[in-house]
Amino acid sequence: MSTVYDFTVKDMKGNDVSLSEYAGKVLLIVNTATGCGFTPHYEPLEAMYKDLRDRGFEILDFPCNQFANQAPGSEDEIHEFCTLKFGTDFPQFKKVDVNGENADPLFAYLAAEKPFEGFGKGLKNAALNKFANMNNKAFGDKAYIKWNFTKFLVDREGRVAARFEPTEDMKNVRRAVEEML
């Protein structure tokens, strides 16, 4: 597979959605969780979506419960939480695994295109790295994503342009999206 447009994912109700439906748009594909320290990222994500969607921008939200069980609810419960607490309006898909034998093929592809390069410097980032390594030990070489709210920026041709770890300042993520638009 050469672009994200070659993948089919499941919407919240379990229906197939071809990512080719998003051809020509700039995408930010994110694995999320409702009970994570990074859950407040929903706020700047939604603000970015509202400001930029008319310019051909989409955020694709994939809840994941593989990181310390931080997204334990059903798809409906997760969606309700996100819409009521953060007013999210961007597409949310079925909960997926992003690591291990059952990892969604989209996330294995995204991570192969832009591998993990670290959480950055500082005590908080070092602590997250230690915790993520412990959590992901069970996935071995299939630990594609290190934590919730990893973001992949995809250009209008469906190519993965950048990877942002959850520790990345959301202002930097927005700047990269705006430059691509």
Q: Which of 12-26, 73-87, 103-117 is predicted least confidently?
A: 73-87
Active site residue 36: yes
Catalytic residue, from 19, 36, 82, 160: name it: 36
* DSSP SS3 for 17: strand
Query: In DSSP terms, which residues pair with 63 in a beta bridge?
Result: 32
Rounded-to-integer distance, Cα 107 and Cα 95, Å: 12
Residue 94, pLDDT score: 95
H-helix or E-strand containing 101? none
Query: Using CA of residue 137, residue 74, residue 104, residue 145, what is the dihedral sign?
Result: negative
Mean pLDDT of 33-38: 86
Rounded-to-integer distance, Cα 8 and Cα 20, Å: 8
Q: pLDDT averaged over the chain?
A: 92
CATH number of the domain enclosing 78: 3.40.30.10
For the chain, the domain total comes to 1
Residue 140, pLDDT score: 82
| 119-132 b/e (C-beta count within 10 Å ≥ 16 → b) | beeeeeeeebbeeb
Q: What's the domain range around 86? A: 4-180
If pLDDT is split at 50, 70 and 90, which confidence band does 171 have?
A: very high
Q: What is the pLDDT of residues 36-54, one digit of tens each?
A: 888 889 999 999 999 999 9
pTM score of the predicted model: 0.93
More confident call, 125 vs 179: 179
Q: What is the pLDDT of residues 93-128, one digit of tens each?
A: 999 999 999 999 999 999 999 998 888 887 777 877
The terminus-to-terminus CA distance of the chain in angstroms comes to: 24
If pLDDT is split at 50, 70 and 90, which confidence band does 1 have?
A: low
If pLDDT is split at 50, 70 and 90, which confidence band does 35 have?
A: confident
